[in-house]
């Protein structure tokens, strides 16, 4: 059963975000969101405000209803097509909110019978835990989604509304060795914890180590993509974006709202200032000041 939603219901849901209208939403039915090439009369379409040809995009769309920014005119062309335009500050954000509420199926709560949970673990309410995941002696908040084949070690603390994708490995010993005179490698004790705050998302097959003598901390709202490695004692702030294949070495500090592009590497014991951007494949071997963009190998400040 595909949904059929009245455009007026969507407008009601968006509430204060709606800054104005053109045309008449009455009787328009929305069945889906679609990529530009697949838009049809039942699509809720949107126009990216960053595009220079946005007026043209709105006029060419096959949709009857579009979310637009304030700088599109209700031209003769648009009027003739009787399109319904809903003006919002950020059309992409509005489409995301609409999509999440009306078109994304909610994960049902439940813990699969194959899940192994340590008897001492403290679990919150409304959890989803997928097949074959293994939960050690740890603390998990409410409304957490743990997908399949995830392994969470003893001593991990997880907040509310956290999403952990399949195959993630959380809270195991970090990689620290000291060489003896004859070359043998002796492991440095790894006795700290891993703390994951509310609203964090952790990607598939990503590995986050616990701290050695202090803790590893992933801050509120931070999103981490697939196949990342985050080493012991790393401290990550709020609402940071860490894309796929990123490597963060031990004791690195990453401040709020930083954006780290794919496959970049951060050397240990350095800090990345708030709102900084690290470019794709960047090899960062120094502190990065707030709000700067660094790229290259070795990474240097990008002067735009």
Q: Binding to a copy of itself (CB under 8 A): which residues in 50-109?
A: 89-90, 92-93, 95-97, 99-100, 103-104
Residue 135: CB atoms within 10 A of its CB come to 24
At its nearest, how many Å lie between a copy of itself and the CB of residue 230?
Answer: 9
CA distances to 63, 102, 270 from 38, in Å: 10, 19, 46
What residues between 123 and 152 interact with a copy of itself by CB under 8 A?
130-132, 134, 147-149, 151
- Residue 55 or 92: the one with the smaller Cβ distance to a copy of itself is 92
Q: 172, 202, 210, 278: which one contacts a copy of itself (CB under 8 A)?
A: 172
CA distance 125 to 267: 38
Active-site annotation holds for 232: yes
What φ, ψ does residue 210 adopt, rounded to 5°? -75, 170
What residues between 194 and 223 interact with a copy of itself by CB under 8 A?
199, 201, 203-205, 207, 209, 211-214, 221, 223
What residues between 245 and 264 interact with a copy of itself by CB under 8 A?
245, 247, 249, 256-257, 262-263
Residue 4, interface with a copy of itself (CB under 8 A)?
Answer: no
Q: Any idea what DSSP says for residue 105?
A: P
Give yes or no for a contact between 208 and 172, defined as CB atoms under 8 angstroms apart: no
Give yes or no for a contact between 243 and 230, defined as CB atoms under 8 angstroms apart: no
Give yes or no for a contact between 264 and 281, defined as CB atoms under 8 angstroms apart: yes
Q: 61, 69, 243, 252: which one contacts a copy of itself (CB under 8 A)?
A: 243
Catalytic residue among 32, 112, 229, 232: 232
- Residue 76 or 183: the one with the smaller Cβ distance to a copy of itself is 183
At its nearest, how many Å lie between a copy of itself and the CB of residue 87?
Answer: 16
Residue 11, interface with a copy of itself (CB under 8 A)?
Answer: no
Structure tokens at 229: 């490695």
Nearest to 252 by CA among 219, 287, 283: 287
Structure tokens at 19: 């800054």
Which residues are annotated as catalytic? Answer: 232
């Amino acid at each position: 059963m595909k949904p059929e939603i009245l455009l007026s219901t969507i407008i009601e849901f968006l509430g204060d975000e709606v800054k104005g209208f053109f045309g008449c939403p009455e009787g328009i039915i929305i069945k889906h969101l679609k990529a530009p090439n697949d838009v049809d009369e039942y699509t809720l379409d949107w126009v990216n405000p960053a595009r220079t040809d946005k007026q043209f995009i709105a006029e060419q769309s096959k949709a009857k209803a579009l979310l637009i920014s304030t700088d599109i005119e209700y031209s003769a062309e648009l009027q003739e097509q009787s399109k319904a335009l809903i003006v919002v500050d950020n059309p992409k954000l509005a489409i995301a909110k609409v999509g999440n509420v009306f078109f994304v199926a909610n994960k049902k709560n439940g813990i699969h019978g194959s899940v192994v949970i340590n008897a001492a673990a403290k679990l919150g309410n409304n959890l989803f835990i997928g097949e074959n995941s293994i939960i050690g002696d740890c603390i998990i908040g409410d409304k957490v989604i743990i997908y399949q084949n995830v392994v969470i070690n003893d001593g991990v603390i997880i907040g509310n509304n956290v999403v952990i994708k399949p195959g993630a490995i959380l809270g195991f010993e970090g990689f620290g060795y000291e060489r003896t005179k004859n070359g043998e490698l002796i492991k440095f004790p790894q006795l700290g914890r891993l703390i994951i705050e509310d609203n964090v998302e952790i990607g598939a097959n990503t590995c986050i180590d616990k701290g050695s003598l202090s803790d590893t901390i992933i801050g509120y709202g931070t999103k981490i993509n697939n196949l990342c490695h985050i080493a012991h004692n790393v401290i990550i702030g709020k609402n940071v974006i860490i894309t796929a294949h990123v490597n963060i070495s031990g004791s690195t500090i990453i401040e709020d709202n930083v954006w780290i592009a794919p496959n970049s590497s951060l050397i240990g014991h350095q800090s990345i200032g708030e709102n900084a951007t690290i470019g794709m494949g960047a090899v960062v071997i120094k502190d990065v000041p707030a709000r700067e963009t660094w790229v290259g190998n070795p990474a240097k400040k990008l002067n735009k």
